[in-house]
Structure 1
Amino acid sequence: MHTEDTEEFLLPRSRRANERLHALIPGGAHTYAKGDDQYPEDLAPVISHGRGAHVWDIDGNRYIEYGSGLRSVSLGHAHPRVVEAVRRELDRGSNFVRPSILEVEAAERFLATVPTAEMVKFAKNGSDATTAAVRLARAATGRPRVALCADHPFFSVDDWFIGTTPMSAGIPAATNELTVAFPYGDLAATEELLTRYQDEVACLILEPATHTEPPPGYLAGLRELADRHGCVLIFDEMITGFRWSEAGAQGLYGVVPDLSTFGKALGNGFAVSALAGRRDLMERGGLRHSGDRVFLLSTTHGAETHSLAAAMAVQTTYVEEGVTARLHALGERLAAGVREAAAGMGVGDHVVVRGRASNLVFATLDENLQPSQEYRTLFLGRLLAGGVLAPSFVVSSALDDADIDHTVDVVAQACAVYRKALDAGDPTPWLAGRPVKPVFRRLA
């Protein structure tokens, strides 16, 4: 059982495992957002296993988990329909010298789910899909520049994006100069950018929505700008795909991009992503055209059968069980509870829940209502001690009302300590170590 005091909540096995991870793996994890620097010092659990909305660490603690698999496990861990679909393929082989029949079946299922797209190609991670979209846009337009939305945190591990972050070491300046940025929600600024770089911008790439809804007419306005300036409109639907609607944000808002990319929820933890879009663009990476060939996506494991089977099961489950609606309902219950708990403890202006109900994040603000890593550390530590692993409040459909109620109780306890720290004007006595750090920073 967890104690209320983080000083008594210890993770000795996880701490030793983290040392082993750092000794063998740069950063101690295969994704920077999973690094132990994102958690209070010596309180970064190393996971043993998960089921549904719960995970267990190697110290034997059970947690209600949010943001599962960086938003990828939206149905909960080891979901029976997904596991069974994968199990059926296990004895049938996973990768062949020619396409499996599953490749066409998975493509048919995807395009039925996202009918705004005409062709699809699968890969293993989102970065490959977004970079393929950028390459395709450059090939189709003959233009060098990429315009990305400056307000969205991540698009790719590849140079065209990472060069814009504080972690740009190893990327040539000449590459960085080819990426320009536009602000979300500001059509006038985007038009000014396209005019300044007239006939140079190959594409506009953005998440169609994040923690804020698109302003009325914004996405349609971007569509018109892209058409008028002759550039390709790309929606990164890694997060919005399925969480906003089964057909993504493009299906919800009724604005059709030229290309879009999906991942995360698509496989419920299995490695699969997708590039989808207009036939005339996508076919440039195929064999049925007379122009220059585009090396679109060609990955050894891109069509590995287990992940395609998982993706098909995920889409079926979403449609048949109304998963998107359930995610919204759970998120609304959680957001209301957290806001009430924070307000009740006098920190309603400091612990702030934001975003669409299916994709909630939280902000931790200091005495001056400024974002604070120190207060985030305090809050995360108290949640962990109460059995809640929550780098965000992004829900999975495996949560139930009891999970939400327990989470709200733990949040209330955390907020009581938060209030004490605010009154003292210094959270340091409650941290027991260095504060958590942002993922994107120049120095380790």
Structure 2
Amino acid sequence: MTKLFDQSIAANARLHELIPGGAHTYAKGEDQYPENMAPVIERGLGAHVWDVDGNEYIEYGSGLRAVSLGHQHPKVVEAVKRELDRGSNFVRPSIVELEAAERFLTAVPTADMVKFTKNGSDATTAAIKLSRAITGRARVAICADHAFFSTDDWFITRTPMAAGIPDAIGDLTVGFPYGDLAATEEMFVRYPGEIACLVLEPATQQDPPPGYLEGLRDLAHRFGALLIFDEMITGFRFADGGAQGLYGVTPDLSTFGKALANGFAVSALAGRREYMERGGLRDSNERVFLLSTTHGAETHSLAAAIAVLDVYAAEGISARLHELGDKLAAGVREITAAAGVGEHVIVRGRASNLVFATLDENFLPSQLYRTLFLRELILGGVIGPSFVVSSALTDADIERTLEVVAQACTVYHKALDAQDVSAFLPGRPVQPVFRKFA
């Protein structure tokens, strides 16, 4: 399938003139896609999107995993339109805020209270602040094996893009490895009485080792720290009640976003009442300025969240995502094996949250081969940085995706045989988001 990208190329040039990086999210940047093949999207419907050149794509990882029901889901759109006709922001709380909180806490019964905001970074940073206030400690421990927690200094200090962050702030963040309780205990011993909290995703590509989350909770509490689950990705996509419900381990605080409102801007900080009340008006301790955002409770976004939670419960969306992901993963593995690249193009992760790895001739992760694979997918009408599914995907979409993957694997095999992938690429390779220089 021949595709033209002239309008996208022109739009990207204009974007870079007006917006640093050409996008408002680094993960959506032009550098994440093959050169001159970074489509600028005009519209979406279900699991399909169209770019400004009129090219149509089956989309994966929609909205960076936020759009789990597909674009323009009718029940979400209806709920949003209804609230837009009633006003979106007032001088006092809207009744929709109460309704959204009640609906959220019904879906996530492991939490006692919830506070909504607009983005995941704010929610997770609020959890950090709250844990510091509760424990009286300054140091934060983050899982070093997990990719992202916040745009704020306490996390970005641990990345190659730490310019502008004072060393004094960076010194307050330490890392611990996922799945290793002994190493985490050693960290607590190394910083006695200093660590306010442990922050981690409860699971990523594999389920946690048996007993790990329980052990981590007990370890944190034994050393006087709080346990914080970042459920931005796992929340609702892994299970309706989040990973904490799926694995049966309740953290002290947790943060949600992404799938919560099907692309509308809603994230949440949730947790135990005794801790959350520190940011309220009914606690006798020194107050914590927890979260206070002008747009945090826009009625239409909260109405979207209510609609999403209702759809998840009524239609078994979590199970549907796993069903679609299982079918896609099985098909990709069969195709890669048949094409002789099964050890080089690897699909992994929970079925509802699939990613793919691209390995070179020496079985090492390769940005060059990732570029080749992405290029062939885009030319075949499939776009996405992952294979993260939405419930809007049809069986025909999955079948077409597998056809495109088969075509991509044929080219991939040729590059491996040639031992020169660069000969198959007309431009620069895609780049990691976190790098020190452009």
TM-score computed with the length of structure 1 as normaliser: 0.98
Q: Distance in 2 between matches of 1:377 and 1:133?
A: 37
Q: Distance in 1 between matches of 2:426 and 2:261?
A: 38
In the TM superposition, what is the alpha-carbon distance from 1:430 to its structure 2 partner? 1.1
Q: For 1:411-422, what aligned pairs fall within 5 Å after superposition?
A: 411-422=405-416
Q: What SS does structure 1 have at the residue aligned with 2:293?
A: coil
Q: Cα RMSD over matched residues?
A: 0.5
Q: Distance in 1 between matches of 2:283 and 2:254?
A: 21
Task: Give the AA of the match of 1:118.
Answer: D
1:100 correspondence with 2:94? yes
Q: Distance in 2 between matches of 1:274 and 1:264?
A: 10
Partner of 1:292: 286
Task: Give the AA of the match of 1:229.
Answer: F
Task: Give the AA of the match of 2:233.
Answer: I
Q: For 1:214-293, what aligned pairs fall within 5 Å after superposition?
A: 214-293=208-287
Q: Distance in 1 between matches of 2:314 and 2:219?
A: 37
Task: Give the AA of the match of 1:53.
Answer: A
Partner of 2:417: 423
Q: What SS does structure 1 have at the residue aligned with 2:64?
A: helix
Partner of 1:135: 129
Structure 2 stretches lacking a partner, 5+ long: none
Q: What SS does structure 1 have at the residue aligned with 2:236?
A: helix
Structure 1 stretches lacking a partner, 5+ long: 4-8
1:442 correspondence with 2:436? yes
Q: For 1:142-161, what aligned pairs fall within 5 Å after superposition?
A: 142-161=136-155
Q: Distance in 2 between matches of 1:197 and 1:354?
A: 35
Corresponding pairs, count: 438
Q: Distance in 2 between matches of 1:202 and 1:36?
A: 38
Q: What SS does structure 2 have at the residue aligned with 1:420?
A: helix
Q: For 1:34-49, what aligned pairs fall within 5 Å after superposition?
A: 34-49=28-43
Identity of aligned residues (%): 74
Q: Distance in 1 between matches of 2:61 and 2:283?
A: 42
Q: Distance in 2 between matches of 1:289 and 1:316?
A: 33
Task: Give the AA of the match of 1:200.
Answer: E
Partner of 2:107: 113
1:396 correspondence with 2:400? no
Q: What SS does structure 2 have at the residue aligned with 1:240?
A: coil
In the TM superposition, what is the alpha-carbon distance from 1:390 to its structure 2 partner? 2.0
Q: Distance in 1 between matches of 2:86 and 2:10?
A: 39
1:56 correspondence with 2:50? yes
Deviations 1:302-337 (A, max 9, x none): 001010000000000001100000000000000001
Q: For 1:359-398, what aligned pairs fall within 5 Å after superposition?
A: 359-398=353-392
Q: Distance in 2 between matches of 1:75 and 1:172?
A: 41
Q: Distance in 2 between matches of 1:269 and 1:207?
A: 21
Partner of 1:6: none
Partner of 1:353: 347
Partner of 2:205: 211
Task: Give the AA of the match of 2:170.
Answer: N
In the TM superposition, what is the alpha-carbon distance from 1:22 to its structure 2 partner? 0.3
Q: Distance in 1 between matches of 2:51 and 2:106?
A: 39
TM-score computed with the length of structure 2 as normaliser: 1.00
1:196 correspondence with 2:190? yes
Q: What SS does structure 2 have at the residue aligned with 1:243?
A: coil
Partner of 1:315: 309
Q: What SS does structure 2 have at the residue aligned with 1:70?
A: coil
Deviations 1:46-73 (A, max 9, x none): 0000000000000001000000000000
Q: Distance in 1 between matches of 2:255 and 2:303?
A: 19
Runs of 4+ in 1 over 3 A off after TM superposition: none
Q: Distance in 1 between matches of 2:343 and 2:210?
A: 27
